[in-house]
A and B are shown apart, each in its own frame.
Chain A
């Protein structure tokens, strides 16, 4: 019993280290330390909001830094993310994703080497990594796909997982800076996903014959 108490009361070395760092950060002692030591200052990390230097500045201003600037920038992403998710929800509700699945099913075997039954999981994986992974597991457990097909399909999902959702949500912050139309990087991403799956297809063909 004493041993248990002793273990519970024992403070790891890391505890003291982080405590000292936390005291340093919140105390403000390093505010003007220089030589990079001012990273141990809360105000430095918190940074500053941008200011309205020109009429072109958005609500987050210009010249901000640290947590404050990051927060306002990220907050500015919310409308785009909400709009994209709203549109995707509508497309899904009216069967747009099912249509995509139906169109894709016959081409899955030639382009990816996986059976057409993977269509739903594939389309879901473009929307949600977790949904795609769960469905893939189910397909494998039900022996709808072989071990090798599981690997190929996983390779497709693993690179740029949840592509549509992720690209349209966080990516939207960068769309304004792209020097090409936003569809070009998306097309490249799709091509590379298919390429990656085919690399895995070649790999399993050479090294994983036993599981076929």
Chain B
């Protein structure tokens, strides 16, 4: 047994170092834990938020330059007025279906252009998340969880209904 130990001394040293590392990993300090989480946040920001928001800003730029934003604003104004929102806010809801970060970007771009105000942002914010990333979640959530596809329409309808009601609640709360 001892012979084995001698023979494997370098490995033992490596194992000891690994054990020490594991011990450190097993009992990280408060700061280590925070930093681990912050690093996750950095990855979310870089991999997800920045590309999505950048795309949203470019989309809004295209809609602005072509005049489609004004057109959509006028066209959807009567519908969005139900929730006390300007017609342009429909773009936030459309983009939310694709990505939540993108919808936040659209919200900011519209705010900077004067298309929506603080109250509109307050009304629409729950809808961004209730409708958020629906297209992705069909696969990532419902597909993974094993929900039969025949139930997708009702699940989508519930999300739309939720968003509609939530915006009503926010409209009342911001009155």
Contacts and interface: CB of A to CB of B under 8 A. Distances in A.
A29 to B, nearest CB: 15
Interface residues of B, number: 73
- What is the predominant secondary structure among interface residues of chain A facing chain B? helix
A158 B141 contact: yes
Given A66-B58, A75-B50, A163 B129 contact: yes
A174 B101 CA distance: 11
B13 interface: no
Nearest to B143: A133
B125 to A, nearest CB: 5
A44 B66 CA distance: 12
- What is the predominant secondary structure among interface residues of chain B facing chain A? helix
B33 A93 contact: yes
Contacts of A178: 118, 121-122, 125
B61 A44 contact: yes
Candidate in A44, A130, A161, A203 with the most chain B CB atoms within 10 angstroms: A161
B97 interface: no
Contact of B57 (A70, A81, A86): A70
A129 B166 CA distance: 21
A78 B65 contact: no
Interface residues on A, range: 35 or more
B132 interface: yes
Interface of B: 28, 30, 33-42, 44-46, 49-50, 52-58, 61-62, 64-67, 100-101, 104-105, 107-109, 111-112, 118-119, 121-122, 125-126, 128-130, 132-134, 137, 140-142, 144-147, 151, 154-155, 158-159, 161-163, 165-166, 169-170, 173-174
Given A73-B57, A86-B35, 9 more contacts: A47-B61, A66-B58, A71-B53, A85-B40, A90-B34, A154-B141, A158-B142, A161-B133, A188-B169
5 contacts: A159-B162, A161-B141, A170-B101, A189-B166, A196-B159
Interface of A: 36, 38-39, 44-45, 47, 63-67, 69-71, 73-75, 77-78, 81-90, 93, 129-130, 132-134, 136-137, 140-141, 150-151, 153-155, 157-161, 163, 165-167, 169-171, 173-174, 177-180, 184-185, 188-189, 191-193, 195-196, 199-200, 203
